[in-house]
Copies of this chain bind each other. A is one copy, B any other.
Amino acid sequence: MPLQGNALIGQSGGPTIVINGSLVGAIEAAEKRAEIDSFYGALCGLTGVLNEQMMDLFREDDDLIRRMRYTPSAALGSCRLKPTEDDLERCMEVFRAHDIRYFFYNGGNDSQLTCHLISELAKSSDWDMQVIGIPKTIDNDLVITDNCPGFGSAARYAAWAVQCAARDALAFGNVEVVEVMGRHAGWLTGATQCGRKEDWMAPHLVYLPEVTVDPDKFLADCQSTFDEYGYLVVAVSEGFNFGESELANTSEKLDEFGHARLGGVAEALADMIEESIGVRARFDKLGNLQRAFSPCMSKADADEAYAVGQDAVNRAMAGETDIMITIQRLSNDPFEFETETTSLMSVADATKLVPDDWINEEGNGVTDEFIQYCMPLISGAAFALPDGLPEYSVFQRHPVERKLPPYERKKQ
């Protein structure tokens, strides 16, 4: 018998172009289930749980919910918060106070770990609650799932952007370095190679963080490629590295998880190439638009995002818990998938890098297998770009009444 009570959902980590698709999938599935009395959204992920800042999603306008499906970036707000023991205890208090029997959390591997810790604590606290993780990351680095909702659209934007920026470099016969997000996993950077249909096309050289690049070989490859095609487009991950050789690309600032804020790789490399081959080298950093530029929303990605949100609710109703929803690919053409599950622990502390045999021998590009994997995820347009400018809205945010004293978070 499914539990009767309230459900709560949060969005965590870097937003994506399709993140609200999962939210809408979950809301629309929840609306059909009598077991769910109210469906709450936590404002800014776990921060909203800790501070008891929640909104009543069932009271939002249906039309607004439908439009939100194609609105980029977390509609509930997001956070990057690594919960302490105290934080987790506080979450339990909030769950009890609001009779939360279903908890859904949408994020990457840090968020799935949070989800697992909550699931464990609920069990040991004897609080019956189904906890389900919904995958989401533009990095595509969650293990077990075929791919991660959020990746396809980011990759579609990055691939279009490289093709467009390349035209500018071609017109001037110079060098362009494009910096793509990805500290450890090069999926997004590799995907830009999907646009290279003939040898003369860009990107000519593609560097993933999985590869340690030799500076001399790098410059030699740049020189010979430029000599051959009369222009040069290089796609590099944020996590591009020369191994022990120096590259001035790390900022001293750290994010909340202690990861270094990276930046400036493309600029540093452009300067280096310009000096070495004597041709003007420019750079573009695709930046935050990779997770927000909705005109490039991919159809496969939008469909996946909705499906994992919907499935999370349905599986919770079926009594499943401590799992993350995964994507299982069924066919490439037409692209078809189904949703499956895996334990939260299986994904929580792992990172799926691009496998060695999907990187070419030269270490400066990806293989055909990589391209065949990516192409169905980025090919289709989710919608036609409308006339006018975006009509993005925000939820009305009907607040859920607080029941607990305020929470004072201890400094770590």
Interface string of A283-318 (1 = CB under 8 A from B): 111011101111110010000000000000000000
Stretch at the interface among A169-177, A208-216, A355-363: A169-177
The reply to whether A386 and B381 contact each other, CB–CB distance below 8 Å, is yes
CA distance in complex: A308, B299 (Å): 37
Number of chain A residues whose Cβ lies closer than 8 Å to a Cβ of chain B: 58
Q: Among residues 376 to 391 in chain A, which have CB atoms less than 8 Å away from a CB atom of chain B?
A: 378-381, 384-391
The reply to whether B295 and A289 contact each other, CB–CB distance below 8 Å, is no
Stretch at the interface among A158-166, A240-248, A319-327: A158-166
The reply to whether B384 and A384 contact each other, CB–CB distance below 8 Å, is yes
Chain B residues contacting A288 (CB-CB under 8 Å) are 165, 168, 176, 282, 284
Chain B residues contacting A291 (CB-CB under 8 Å) are 168
Q: State which of B170, B194, B387 has its C-beta within 8 Å of the C-beta of A381.
A: B387
Chain B residues contacting A173 (CB-CB under 8 Å) are 44, 77
Scoring A15, A164, A294 by chain B CB atoms within 10 A of each residue's CB, the highest score goes to: A164
Q: Among residues 19 to 47 in chain A, which have CB atoms less than 8 Å away from a CB atom of chain B?
A: 44
Residues in A lying within 8 Å of B, measured CB to CB: 11, 15, 44, 71-75, 77-79, 156, 159-161, 163-165, 167-168, 170-173, 176, 194-195, 197, 200-201, 282-285, 287-289, 291-296, 299, 378-381, 384-392, 394
A-B contact pairs, 29 of them (CB 8 A): A11-B171, A15-B167, A44-B172, A44-B173, A72-B167, A73-B167, A73-B168, A73-B171, A74-B171, A77-B170, A77-B172, A77-B173, A78-B171, A156-B389, A160-B295, A160-B389, A163-B390, A164-B289, A164-B292, A164-B294, A165-B289, A167-B392, A168-B292, A170-B394, A282-B288, A284-B288, A379-B388, A379-B389, A381-B384
